[in-house]
Every structure is written in C-alpha cells, then in structure tokens.
Amino acid sequence: MVELSSDQLKQAVGRAALAYVEPGQIVGVGTGTTVAHFITGLGEMRDPIPGAAPSSERSTAALAAVGIPVLTANEVERLSVYVDGTDEIDPKGYLIKGGGAALTREKIVASLADRFVCIAEEYKSVPVLGDFKLPVEVIPEAAAAIARRFASGLQGTSGTAVLRRNADGTPLITDNGQHILDINGLKITDPLAFESAVNDWPGVVTVGVFAHQKASIALLGAPDGIRTVEF
C-alpha cells in the first residue's frame, strides 16, 4: 500500500466533500488546511456555485482567489450544506474546533446549514473529546476570570488555560478582535452540557465544543480510503 501524506489525505476528503454540494446552492465554507482543498475543488467545478458563505477572512480570500462570489452570514438565511474541518470528533459527531482561531464564525455559519459535512484525517476521531487543547474565544478583559473558572474546575470543566500568542509573543487577535484561551487537561464526557455551561460564562464569545452544532456526516481520511460516518 502506498503511504499517503497528511496533505494527500486532506486533499482526498476535501475533494470528496464536493459530492455534497448541491447545484445552484450557496455553500457554507469553514476554515483550515483541509478546507483549503475543498475551496480549490469548488473553484474547479464544471457548474460553478452561485456563491459561498465563509467562516473567516482567510477563507474569504481563498474563495475570492478562485473566483467564487462571497456572501456574509448576514446575507444568507439558510444553507443546504456547511463543509468544515475539525480538531477532534467523537463517536456522536461532537467536535472540538478552533485550532485555526475561526470558531465563532464557524459556529455561526454551521448554525445556518441543514447539514454539516465534517472533513478530517481519521486520527482526529477520538472516544472522548479533550486531548486537543480546547479553544475558547474570549473578550480580552474577561480572560483572567475565565482562566480562573477553568482552574477551579466547576461543572466538570477543570483545565489549565493558556492565552494563544503569535510567533512574536503578542496575543493572537481573532477576526472578531478578541483573544483565544486554549484549555489543557479536559475530558469532555457530556459535550452538550459542557458547551452550554461554558457559553454562559461572562466574557466567553464562543467555546470550541460543537455539540449543539455537531457534524451530520464525517468524511474521515485514512491510508486505506475514506470512511463516511453519518450521525
């Protein structure tokens, strides 16, 4: 068996997701290196889509570069499909997302879609969410208080928060002008309750658990092919 590189697996699932795009329909587009392959494929479709609603400035630029008209989330009422990557996926299709810091807009666009097609390498499939550091977008003024809440471990949310920084040491600023805390040491056994609880904390913009906006379908790339899972 020929060993496929990580990028080849991403390309395979990114291209496979094109089969879920409905002709004539606007598509919701996520963010990341896997989605980048999906965007390339969208640009090459024989029947071009009328437009796409992206979840980040990065995907906005990538869509524009392949000639696809871009709409904001405010300009679409409903989407038939949203395609995005993930950092972890559990057996029920619950996700941890936000490794690329785009979680808030990703959740907004996902919430507009009838189906969320999640594309990822199979190793991201885990029994319980939490090995990947959970991204939480926060209002900067609330970062210390939110970090203390995680440290105190209330409501099964015990973890250590680290402010995400750029290579030059400055705090990373999201597309929405906010900060990201990455939370280590979690074991998220009840993603629905966890997401609701953390979203309630003052200053939390979005928690990177996607349980209320979980995947409908996952296309998981492995060396022996793509596994399709429906939730």
Among 13, 16, 34, 197, binds ligand 5RP (CB under 6 A): 34
Backbone angles phi, psi at 181, to 5 degrees: -100, 135
Indicate whether 215 belongs to the interface with ligand 5RP (CB under 6 A): no
Indicate whether 104 belongs to the interface with ligand 5RP (CB under 6 A): no
Q: How far apart are CA 193 and CA 191, in angstroms?
A: 6
SS3 label, residue 91: coil
Indicate whether 93 belongs to the interface with ligand 5RP (CB under 6 A): no
Indicate whether 158 belongs to the interface with ligand 5RP (CB under 6 A): no
Output the CA–CA distances (angstroms, integers) from residue 64 to 14, 136, 148, in the order listed.
18, 28, 41
Output the CA–CA distances (angstroms, integers) from residue 26 to 36, 61, 145, 147, in the order listed.
17, 17, 40, 39
Among 99, 130, 159, 191, binds ligand 5RP (CB under 6 A): 99
Indicate whether 159 belongs to the interface with ligand 5RP (CB under 6 A): no
Which residue(s) pair with 222 in the sheet?
225
Indicate whether 41 belongs to the interface with ligand 5RP (CB under 6 A): no
Indicate whether 33 belongs to the interface with ligand 5RP (CB under 6 A): yes
Cβ-based nearer residue to ligand 5RP, 154 or 162: 162
106 counts as catalytic: yes
Q: How many helices (H) and strands (E) does the chain have?
A: 6, 13
Indicate whether 86 belongs to the interface with ligand 5RP (CB under 6 A): yes
Indicate whether 195 belongs to the interface with ligand 5RP (CB under 6 A): no
Marked catalytic residue, from 88, 106, 137, 195: 106
Span 105-144, contacts to ligand 5RP by CB under 6 A: 106
SS3 label, residue 169: coil
Residue located via tokens 């980048």: 36
Indicate whether 191 belongs to the interface with ligand 5RP (CB under 6 A): no
Nearest to 39, CA basis, from 68, 4, 6: 68
Among 49, 83, 102, 211, binds ligand 5RP (CB under 6 A): 102
Amino acid at 89: I
Cβ-based nearer residue to ligand 5RP, 61 or 154: 61
- The C-alpha angle with vertex 181 and arms to 121 and 129, in degrees rounded to 5, equals 40
Tokens representing 24 are: 């004539």
Active site residues: 106
Q: Which residues bind ligand 5RP (CB under 6 A)?
A: 30-34, 84-87, 97-103, 106
